[in-house]
Amino acid sequence: MFGDFSKALVQLSDKRFQSVLLKGLGLTIALLVAIYLAFVWIIGAFVPDTFSLPFIGQVTWIDNALSIGSFFLMIGLSVFLMVPVASAFTGIFLEEVSEAVEDRHYPGLPEVPRQSIVDIVVDSLSFLGVIIVANVIALVLYLVLNVAAPLIFWALNGFLLGREYFQMVAMRRLGREEAKAARKRHMPEIWLAGALMAIPLTIPVVNLLIPVLGAATFTHMFMRLEGDKLRQPAL
């Protein structure tokens, strides 16, 4: 598992990795900026520029303070936003990352049938919905078991992200049903790898690299666990 990650890390110098990384960074930053601007707009729309308080007089700085505070709030929220971003990233860019990994480390594999854009979008949106619903439900546990909240967050999202990344990688080569069977066979290792991926997703700036490294790592993992079947001659 750590060997899979090490290979992915070394390949960050690959031009195709860098291209995907830049596109992913652009989309991620654009999303965070859009949410931040929407938050600032809401503050501007509903918080008055000035108002009076008894014994204090005119207060003119509250909207500026809220706007500045919202910036730091967005940095904190990025920890949670990066989980659905990583999920969405899977469907959009996984094909490019997996191809780059296979060309460099596993040459000679059969061509992969292209998935339709509709299938990719449907799969990505359905899983994104699962992640959001699961984390909203988990908020109750975070509040009740606040000391254990980070462990619950990593375990839950590690399971979900590992399941999604492995499933998407395996589907490229095995099809949907065989990919599900392969996922079930290797679920403990997939869950652990997903948890190790979820931990750095909670670290600002570092988390921007994880979707690319995650797609590459799970491609290596799939080839290590199931790659022999791809090389068996057809009967």
Task: Give the model confidence (pLDDT) of 38-62 as tens digits.
Answer: 766 776 666 555 545 444 544 454 5
139-158 pLDDT, tens per residue?
Answer: 778 778 777 888 888 888 88
What CA–CA distances, in Å, run from 87 to 157, 165, 189? Answer: 10, 8, 19
What CA–CA distances, in Å, run from 212 to 83, 90, 120, 191, 197? Answer: 13, 9, 17, 18, 11
Average pLDDT over residues 120-146: 76
Closest by CA to 96, choosing from 11, 176, 7, 191, is 11
Q: Across 35-39, 51-55, 217-221, which has the greatest mean pLDDT? A: 217-221
Q: Which residue has the tokens 């290590």?
A: 224
Distance CA(48)–CA(62), nearest Å, equals: 8
Distance CA(134)–CA(80), nearest Å, equals: 12
Question: How big is the CA angle at 87 (ends 229 and 8), to the nearest 5 degrees?
Answer: 55
First to last CA, the chain: 32
What local confidence, expressed as pLDDT, does residue 17 receive?
82
Distance CA(15)–CA(121), nearest Å, equals: 26
CB 210 within 8 A of CB 82: yes
- What is the reported pTM? 0.75
